[in-house]
Structure 1
Amino acid sequence: MHDIRTTSLASVHALYVAKVERKGRTRAEVDEVVRWLTGLDQAGLERHLEAGTTFADLFDEVELHPAADRITGVVCGVRVEEVEEPLMRKIRYLDKLVDELARGKAMEKVLRG
C-alpha cells in the first residue's frame, strides 16, 4: 500500500493543478493555497517542488497558518477535523483547500478570510 506521507509534494502538486485546471482555475491559485497553509513564499515552494520534498519532510519544516484549524469538512469520505494523526490532518487540510478551489469557491473563503 502506498503511503502519502512519503510521497513528494511535487507529484501531488501536479495532480492538484490538473484537477483545478479542469475546473477553470490555475496553478497560481494552487500555489497560493499551498503558500497560505505552509507559510512558504513562492521561491520556497519552488525549492520544495524541485527537491522532491515529501509531505512528511515538508510539514516537519513549515508552520501551518494560524487559521488552519478552521479548515473543516469531508475529503475522500473523511472529516478532516477528525483525522487524529497530525501529519495526515495537515495533508487533508491541503486536500480540502484544493478541493474547495476546484469546486469554484472564492479564494477569500478558501483561505478562511
Structure 2
Amino acid sequence: MIFDHRVYTARPNMLPKFLKLYEEVGLPMQLHYLNEPFGFFQTHIGDLSRAIHIWPYESLTEREEKRGRMEADPEWQTYRQKVIETDYLLDMRNQIVTAVSFFDPKTRSVIR
C-alpha cells in the first residue's frame, strides 16, 4: 500500500477560503474518483496555513489510473482553473510514502 501525501500552503488568511472551495467543489469529485481518503488535516502549530490530504492506494498503477480518470474530467479541470484564478495558494507539494514495517495502515494500528 502507498499513500499520496499532499500539502497545500495557502496565502496568509486564505486557508479557510481555499478549504471552503475545496469542500464544495473539489472534494466531491475526488471522493468519486479516488474513494475515501486516509485523512485530511491542517496545521495547528508550526508552519501555518497548510492543508494536508493523505490518499491511500494499493499501488502506483492504481493511483495513476484513478488520478488519470479524474484529470480527464472537464469539471475537475474547471475546478483546478478556479483554484489558480482565486490565487489562494502559494505552494502545492506531494510525496508518495509507504508504511513502516511495524504499522498496519489498514487497521491504523501498530503491529506488535
Q: TM-score, normalised by structure 1?
A: 0.33
Higher relative contact order (CA 8 A, sep 6+): 2
When you count strand as a share of all residues, which structure comes out higher? Answer: 2
